[in-house]
């Protein structure tokens, strides 16, 4: 099936973006006419997640438009798979690499290894960093500011519904404390919410740490919900869309979704909730920032490096909070 699909794509000279089923790496065919300038690797920590699929599609498009082929790699949240992909990029004489690492402690080794092979690298989403210092140019979301946007929306919701002093209302913030790009998201959510809604007791603010997947988000959130039966109305936000969706599923399983208010981060899964359930969903809002902006931006920075240009060490994408009433207008084709 994969071989037949590849042949069809080559014949059509269309944009090719193929991700692995059972293997971590699949080459795309180039959409460029004539001789390719080389191959760009996109190595993503969780290549089966919607965010990275969308990001990879945009990265492939940008690479193809510039005359490069693109190889999408799913590292499957495995450091071993990830390092193998780095080695493969070197062995295949990659022109450059854009990457989101599953383990930021690998940053120095990755940058040094690619540097020794004269292969430039751009970090997407999660920085390649050491002691808080970026080791390679980074393209991602404006994490703290986006967290603040969610915190502001939740504070407004609490005030509009007179929930601030209700002892049966709790706020759960889903966290990913081992991922540097995710920490400021939760910090922004907490800081803005508590600043805008000081009458909401911090004793009713809870945290659940997870690994970025929906399954682990479900498990972490469910443990908090079970441990606090005194809370009958839950407000939830978090570090990524998968975590908030996991919490939403846990609320539904516990029969607590009707009164809940979940605010996502990304909107790439929230839109599915709204397309299916409209305003009846407990997912009441989500901070929208397109994965395509990060995917295309990371490749554009990489190509600038390949062209010998100076590039910024940080390129951040902002967000706007969308709701079931506004998401189609704001998100356009991303809402489909």
The pLDDT value given to residue 321: 97
Same domain, 178 and 250: yes
Same domain, 112 and 247: no
Length of the chain: 336
332: confidence class by pLDDT, cuts 50, 70, 90: very high
DSSP letter assigned to residue 123: E
Same domain, 311 and 234: no
Q: Please give the average per-residue pLDDT across 67-96, as a whole number.
A: 97
Q: Distance (Å, rounded) from C-alpha 2 to C-alpha 230?
A: 53
**Paired tokens of 289:** 């920032």
Same domain, 68 and 179: no
Q: Residue 274: how many CA atoms within 13 Å on its side-chain side? A: 24
Q: Are 111 and 285 in contact (CB under 8 A)?
A: no
Could you tell me the CATH number of the domain that includes residue 156? 3.40.50.2300
33: confidence class by pLDDT, cuts 50, 70, 90: low
Judged against a pLDDT cut of 70, whether residue 14 lies above it is answered with no
Same domain, 203 and 214: yes
Q: Please give the average per-residue pLDDT across 140-165, as a whole number.
A: 97
What CA–CA distances, in Å, run from 183 to 86, 103, 186, 219, 221?
26, 14, 6, 20, 17
Q: Distance (Å, rounded) from C-alpha 53 to C-alpha 297?
A: 15
15: confidence class by pLDDT, cuts 50, 70, 90: very low
Which single residue is written with the structure tokens 């005194």? Answer: 230
- Distance from the Cα of residue 258 to its chain's centroid: 27
Domain membership of residue 333 (yes or no) is: no
Judged against a pLDDT cut of 80, whether residue 1 lies above it is answered with no
The pLDDT value given to residue 133: 96
Domain membership of residue 331 (yes or no) is: no
27: confidence class by pLDDT, cuts 50, 70, 90: low
Q: Distance (Å, rounded) from C-alpha 31 to C-alpha 277?
A: 38
Same domain, 18 and 113: yes
The pLDDT value given to residue 262: 98
Domain membership of residue 43 (yes or no) is: yes
Same domain, 185 and 156: yes
Q: Distance (Å, rounded) from C-alpha 271 to C-alpha 335?
A: 6
Say if strands 320-322 and 283-288 run parallel, antiparallel, or are unpaired: antiparallel
Kindly compute the dihedral angle of the four CA atoms of residues 54, 248, 324, 52, in this order, to the nearest 10 degrees: -10
Judged against a pLDDT cut of 60, whether residue 12 lies above it is answered with no
Judged against a pLDDT cut of 60, whether residue 271 lies above it is answered with yes
Q: Please give the average per-residue pLDDT across 99-107, as a whole number.
A: 97
Domain membership of residue 325 (yes or no) is: no
Percent of the chain whose pLDDT exceeds 90: 89
Domain membership of residue 321 (yes or no) is: no
Judged against a pLDDT cut of 80, whether residue 218 lies above it is answered with yes
Residue 54's domain comprises 2-136+292-315
Closest CA to 14 of 33, 37, 35, 38: 33
Total domains in the chain come to 2
Minimum mean pLDDT range among 17-21, 255-259, 277-281? 17-21
Q: Are 85 and 25 in contact (CB under 8 A)?
A: yes
Domain membership of residue 327 (yes or no) is: no
Same domain, 153 and 86: no
Closest CA to 43 of 118, 3, 103, 132: 103
Judged against a pLDDT cut of 90, whether residue 128 lies above it is answered with yes
Same domain, 163 and 244: yes
Same domain, 75 and 193: no
Q: Please give the average per-residue pLDDT across 158-181, as a whole number.
A: 97
299: confidence class by pLDDT, cuts 50, 70, 90: very high
The pLDDT value given to residue 283: 98
Judged against a pLDDT cut of 80, whether residue 80 lies above it is answered with yes
Judged against a pLDDT cut of 70, whether residue 7 lies above it is answered with no
The pLDDT value given to residue 35: 80
The pLDDT value given to residue 34: 61
Judged against a pLDDT cut of 70, whether residue 4 lies above it is answered with no
Same domain, 205 and 239: yes
Judged against a pLDDT cut of 70, whether residue 57 lies above it is answered with yes
- Distance from the Cα of residue 111 to its chain's centroid: 22
Domain membership of residue 210 (yes or no) is: yes
Same domain, 103 and 209: no
The pLDDT value given to residue 26: 61
What CA–CA distances, in Å, run from 257 to 19, 282, 307?
34, 6, 52
Domain membership of residue 171 (yes or no) is: yes
Q: Please give the average per-residue pLDDT across 237-258, as a whole number.
A: 97
């Amino acid at each position: 099936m994969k071989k037949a699909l590849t042949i069809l794509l080559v014949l059509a000279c269309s944009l090719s973006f193929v991700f692995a089923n059972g293997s971590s790496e699949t080459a795309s065919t180039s959409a460029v006419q004539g001789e390719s300038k080389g191959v760009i690797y996109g190595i993503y920590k969780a290549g089966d997640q919607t965010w990275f699929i969308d990001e990879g599609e945009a990265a492939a498009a940008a690479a193809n438009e510039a005359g490069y082929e693109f190889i999408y790699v799913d590292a499957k949240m495995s450091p071993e798979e990830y390092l193998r992909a780095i080695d493969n990029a070197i062995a295949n004489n990659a022109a450059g690499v854009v990457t989101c690492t599953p383990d930021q402690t690998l940053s120095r080794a990755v940058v040094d290894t690619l540097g020794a092979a004269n292969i430039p690298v751009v970090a997407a989403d999660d920085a390649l960093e050491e002691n808080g210092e970026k080791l390679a140019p980074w393209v991602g979301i404006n994490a703290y500011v986006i967290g603040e946007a969610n915190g502001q929306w939740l504070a407004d919701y609490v005030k509009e519904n007179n929930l601030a002093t209700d002892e049966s209302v709790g706020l759960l913030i889903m966290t990913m404390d081992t991922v540097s790009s995710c920490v400021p998201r939760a910090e922004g959510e907490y800081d803005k919410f508590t600043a805008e809604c000081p009458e909401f007791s911090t004793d009713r603010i809870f945290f659940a740490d997870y690994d970025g997947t929906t399954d682990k988000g479900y498990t972490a959130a469910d443990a908090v919900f079970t441990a606090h039966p005194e809370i009958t109305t839950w407000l939830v936000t978090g570090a990524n869309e998968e975590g908030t969706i996991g919490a939403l599923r846990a609320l539904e399983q516990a029969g607590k979704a009707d009164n809940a208010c979940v605010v996502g981060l990304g909107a790439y899964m929230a839109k599915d909730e709204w397309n299916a359930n409209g305003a009846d969903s407990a997912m009441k809002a989500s901070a929208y920032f397109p994965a395509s902006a990060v995917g295309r931006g990371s490749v554009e920075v990489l190509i600038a490096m390949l062209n010998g240009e100076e590039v910024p060490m940080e390129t951040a994408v902002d967000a706007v909070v969308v709701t079931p009433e506004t998401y189609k207008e704001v998100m356009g084709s991303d809402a489909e």
